Amino acid sequence: MAPPVSPHLAPPAALPGHVAIVMDGNGRWAQKRWLPRVAGHKQGVEALRQVVKACIERGVPVLSVFAFSSENWNRPVEEVSSLMDLLVMALSREVPSLEKNGVRLYFPGDRSGLSARVVKGLEAAERDTAHNRTLVLNVCFNYGGRWDIAQAARRLAQQGAEITEESLSGAMALAHVGDPDLLIRTGGELRISNFLLWQSAYTELVFTDCLWPDFDAAELDRALAEFANRERRFGQTAEQRAEAEPLVVTAGQRHA
């Protein structure tokens, strides 16, 4: 009998249903120009705008970006507070056009560590874009893969629910989408830095030296081309994969 196939595994496909990005390199981008680090973060918002547009044009249905990690609290207080200000400012500036372009926003992460002003901004943006269906944009903020696994397990334990791979997946902060097919990290580091630990079990990884503020549609296309040339085997042999019917189409998005 064939082993059970996880519904979270996407079929081999030319276009990823879910792209995740560790947007790294903002500080170095600014330092190279003798600018303060925050100038790099500002330029990073511009890069994100380009990439959202490119994802919509290419038909990628889900984009998840790492904007602030659980560990980024360890940065100098001035940098942390300018990142909080930038988030609130970017929301008020960008949400109307995201709204118009059919982007549905989610902010997976630990809200308990955020100020009331920031939480209010995140909740309003989620509410205002809740009816959109073109692109799901997960802006992971105060997010950590370990936090996510722990909060999911804690929630299930409180409910007295059985802990299984499926129940844990369903309690994660990204339960509304399928697992990422492609994870890109900009900025040259070869690590995950506590991003989607549980969800990236079979994700294809692409690392680029490009600093995040320089990342654009052409860079995205390079990563998509690399993804299209990968052979995803999900533990099977290459021969089995060649014969396989497409498994279960998750297309990144779990709930329409």
Query: What amino acid positions are annotated as catalytic residues?
Result: 24, 72
Helices (H) and strands (E) in the chain, counts: 8, 6
Measured N-to-C along each axis, helices 77-100 and 37-58 cross at an angle, to the nearest 10 degrees, of 30
Q: Which one of residues 72, 132, 151, 253 is an interface residue with ligand IPE (CB under 6 A)?
A: 72
Residue whose token pair is 């397990």: 153
Residue 204 Cβ vs ligand IPE, minimum distance, rounded to whole Å: 19
What is the b/e burial string over 141-156, where b = at least 16 CB atoms within 10 angstroms of the residue's CB? bbbbbebbbebbeeeb
Q: What residue 186 binds from Mg ion, ligand IPE, none (CB within 5 to 8 A, per partner kind)?
A: none
Q: How far is CA 33 from CA 17, 26, 40, in A?
A: 36, 11, 9
What is the b/e burial string over 32-48, where b = at least 16 CB atoms within 10 angstroms of the residue's CB? eeeeebbbbbbbbbebb
| Nearer residue to ligand IPE within complex by CB, 16 or 25 | 25
Residue 19 Cβ vs Mg ion, minimum distance, rounded to whole Å: 19
| Nearer residue to ligand IPE within complex by CB, 8 or 37 | 37
38 contributes a contact to ligand IPE by CB under 6 A: no
Comparing every residue's Cβ against Mg ion, the nearest one is: 24
The answer to whether residues 211 and 25 touch, using CB atoms and an 8 Å cutoff, is yes
108 contributes a contact to ligand IPE by CB under 6 A: no
22 contributes a contact to ligand IPE by CB under 6 A: yes
Q: Which one of residues 46, 165, 189, 221 is an interface residue with ligand IPE (CB under 6 A)?
A: 189
| Nearer residue to Mg ion within complex by CB, 66 or 106 | 66
24 contributes a contact to Mg ion by CB under 5 A: yes
Residue 103 Cβ vs ligand IPE, minimum distance, rounded to whole Å: 20
Where are any strands of DSSP class E within the chain? 18-22, 62-69, 103-106, 135-143, 182-185, 204-207
Q: What does the radius of gyration of the chain's CA atoms come to, in whole angstroms?
A: 18
- Give the interface with ligand IPE as residue ranges (CB under 6 A): 22-28, 66-69, 72, 83, 187, 189, 191, 193
- Give the interface with Mg ion as residue ranges (CB under 5 A): 24
